[in-house]
Structure 1
Amino acid sequence: MDQNSAKEGKGLSIIAYITIIGVLIAFFMNQEKKNSFTFFHIRQSLGLWLMYFIFGYVISGFDSWMLTYSFWIFFAVLFLYGLLGAISGKANSIPILGDFFQKLFKSLGN
């Protein structure tokens, strides 16, 4: 990805991290331009949101505030890392899960 692609797709990339609705908005708005930088961050954000909902459902079954706070902090750090990457115009994969999300959602953006 080049700097021009990152500059053009920065706005939609930031929107993708806001909420799960933001992922959908960024995806559909990027269908005309097919910006690779935006699709990179859409895949990262979609994976994070899906994992957040799945793990949140499982963790809600436990009655432990320590587990709940650890869960929130873990995902807050990952979302912040991805959001800061989108703001700075960098395509850094999210630690631990980023490469997996890129492979899993590789059909998005083709």
Structure 2
Amino acid sequence: MSEENNNLGDDIKKGAEEAAETVKDAANDFADGAKEVINSEENKKMIAGILAIIIGSLGIHKFYLGYTKEGIIQIVITFVTCGIGSFIGLIEGIIYLTKSDDEFYQTYQVGRKPWF
């Protein structure tokens, strides 16, 4: 009986190890897929456009695209104009979303055009 319990314990341990390996592989596949989606050109355009429209006054879309200096300038403009400068973010968001994926990528990611 003791040997039978020992075999059962070994079987359970082996099954748990196989399940853990399967879960680990699935999690790695999911993480790789998520990285592709997050880093895709189209997704960057969508996120930057939505950020610009919703909270463009804070320049978050500029920081997201890697334009730190321009993001700080956007915050200052909004503060100095008592919020009127936030229309810049709204306009930029609309421009981002109306460009084709390739045009957005070439203009804002490759060409590094910081404004409009």
Query: Which structure is richer in relative contact order (CA contacts within 8 A, separation 6 or more)?
Result: 1
TM-score (norm 2): 0.33
Structure number with larger C-alpha Rg: 2
TM-score (norm 1): 0.34
